[in-house]
A and B are shown apart, each in its own frame.
Chain A
Amino acid sequence: MLRRTLNRWLGRDERRVDSRSICVGHRSSSNNEAFIPPKFCDNRIVSSKYTVWNFLPKNLFEQFRRIANFYFLIIFLVQVIVDTPTSPVTSGLPLFFVITVTAIKQGYEDWLRHKADNEVNKYPVTVLEQGRRVRKESEKIKVGDVLEVDEDETFPCDLILLQSSRDDDTCFVTTASLDGESNHKTHYTVPDTEKDLESLNATIECEQPQPDLYKFVGRMHIYKADQEPAVRSLGPENLLLKGSTLKNTQTICGVAIYTGMETKMALNYQGKSQKRSAVEKSINAFLLVYLCILVSKALVCTTLKYVWQNKPGQDEPWYNEKTQREKDTNLYLKMFTDFLSFMVLFNFIIPVSMYVTVEMQKFLGSFFITWDKDFFDPEIKEGALVNTSDLNEELGQVEYVFTDKTGTLTQNNMEFIECCIDGFQYKYQDAGTDLDGFCVTDGPANKVQHKAGREKEELFLRALCLCHTVQVKESPEQGQGQRDGLMDQVDGLGVDGKGLHPPPQEQRGFIASSPDEVALVKGAMRYGFTFLGFESKTMKILTRDNDVERYELLHVLNFDPVRRRMSVIVRSKSGDTLLFCKGADSSIFPRVRQEEVERIRMNVERNATEGYRTLCVAYKYLNAEEYAQADAGLREARLALQDREEKLMAVYNQVETGMSLIGATAVEDRLQEEAAETMEALQGAGMKVWVLTGDKMETAKSTCYACRLFQRNTELLELTVRTLEDGGRRREERLHELLVEYHKKAVQDAPPVKAGVTRAWSSANHDYGFIIDGATLSMVLNSSSESNSSRYKNLFLQICQNCTSVLCCRMAPLQKAQIVKMVKNSKGSPITLSIGDGANDVSMILEAHVGIGIKGKEGRQAVRNSDYAIPKLKHLKKLLLAHGHLYYVRIAHLVQYFFYKNLCFILPQFLYQFFCGYSQQPLYDAAYLTMYNICFTSMPILAYSLLEQHICMEVLLDNATLYRGIAKNGMLRWGPFFYWTLLGVFHGLLFFFGVRYLFGNPALQDNGQVFGNWSYGTIVFTVLVFTVTLKLALDTRHWTWINHFVIWGSLAFYVFFSFFWGGIIWPFLKQQRLYFVFANMLSSVSAWLVIILLILLSLLPEILLVVFRKPRGPHAGQLSQEGLLQTARLHLSHHLPIST
Chain B
Amino acid sequence: MMASSYTAKEEDGHITVSGPGALRSRKPENTAFKQQRLPAWQPILTAGTVLPAFFIIGLLFIPIGIGLFVTSNNIKEFEIDYTGVDASSPCYNCSQSFSWNSSRPCTCSIPFYLEQPYESNVYVYYGLSNFYQNHRRYVKSRDDSQLNGDPKSLMEPSKECEPYAFHENKPIAPCGAIANSMFNDTLELFYNDPNGTKVQILLNTTGIAWWTDKHVKFGNPGGNSPNLTAAFQGTTKPINWRRPVFDLDADEGNNGFINEDFIVWMRTAALPTFRKLYRIINKKSGMVPTLPRGNYSLEVVYNYPVRSFEGRKRMILSTISWMGGEEPLSGHRLHRRGLRVLLPGRRAAARPPQVREQKQQR
Contact = CB atoms under 8 A, between A and B. Distances in A.
Given A269-B1, A323-B163, A376-B27, A313 B310 contact: yes
Contacts of A1093: 334, 337
Contact of B27 (A381, A1004, A1089): A381
Contacts of A1086: 323-324, 327, 329
A267 B141 CA distance: 67
A1128 B361 CA distance: 12
Interface stretch (A30-38, A486-494, A732-740, A859-867): A859-867
B308 A372 contact: no
Interface in A954-1008: 996-1008
Interface of B is mostly: loop
B275 A152 contact: no
A559 interface: no
A112 interface: yes
A138 B217 CA distance: 73
Nearest to A117: B2
Contacts of B6: 119-120, 123, 154, 860
Nearest to A1124: B361
Interface in B168-219: 177, 180-181, 207-210, 212-213, 216-217
A324 interface: yes
A109 interface: yes
A97 interface: no
25 contacts: A112-B21, A123-B9, A152-B11, A154-B5, A317-B309, A320-B137, A373-B34, A382-B23, A839-B1, A864-B19, A998-B327, A1001-B327, A1002-B269, A1002-B274, A1003-B318, A1003-B324, A1013-B268, A1013-B271, A1017-B270, A1040-B38, A1040-B39, A1076-B213, A1080-B212, A1084-B324, A1110-B354
A860 B3 CA distance: 7
B7 interface: yes
A45 interface: yes
Interface string B339-362: 001001000100100110010011
Given A370-B24, A1004-B325, A1008-B121, A120 B41 contact: no
A1089 B334 contact: yes
Interface stretch (A221-229, A560-568, A916-924): A916-924
B160 interface: yes
A217 interface: no
B92 interface: no
Contacts of A382: 23-25
Given A953-B36, A1007-B207, A1107-B47, A917 B1 contact: no
B8 A1107 contact: no
Interface string B142-175: 1111001000000000101011100000000000
B97 interface: no
A216 interface: no
A949 B162 CA distance: 57
A863 B181 CA distance: 73
- Max chain A CB contacts within 10 Å: which of B64, B275, B329? B329
Interface in B257-277: 264, 267-272, 274-277
Contacts of A755: none
Given A860-B3, A1003-B324, A1106-B45, 9 more contacts: A116-B18, A120-B6, A177-B4, A317-B132, A917-B134, A1008-B280, A1012-B270, A1107-B45, A1125-B358
- Max chain B CB contacts within 10 Å: which of A153, A314, A1007? A1007
B18 A916 contact: no
A332 interface: no
B138 interface: yes
Given A1072-B144, A1080-B210, A1124-B361, A921 B139 contact: yes
A373 B28 contact: yes
Contacts of A154: 4-8
Interface of B: 1-12, 16-21, 23-30, 34-36, 38-47, 50-51, 57, 64, 68, 121, 123, 125, 131-145, 148, 158, 160, 162-164, 177, 180-181, 207-210, 212-213, 216-217, 240, 264, 267-272, 274-277, 280, 305, 308-310, 318, 320-329, 334, 337, 341, 344, 348, 351, 354-355, 358, 361-362
- Max chain A CB contacts within 10 Å: which of B38, B57, B160? B38
A693 interface: no
Contacts of B272: 915-917
Given A319-B181, A386-B21, A1071-B140, A1089 B323 contact: yes
Given A1107-B47, A1108-B348, A915 B163 contact: no
Given A1010-B267, A1070-B160, A1096-B57, A371 B132 contact: no
Nearest to A882: B36
A1096 to B, nearest CB: 7
- Max chain A CB contacts within 10 Å: which of B5, B325, B329? B5
B329 A1003 contact: no
Contacts of A1121: 361
A1106 B30 CA distance: 35
B27 A373 contact: yes
A920 B139 CA distance: 11
A1010 B30 CA distance: 59
A830 interface: no
B208 A1107 contact: no
Interface in A1089-1140: 1089-1090, 1093, 1096, 1100, 1103-1104, 1106-1108, 1110-1111, 1121, 1124-1125, 1128-1129, 1132
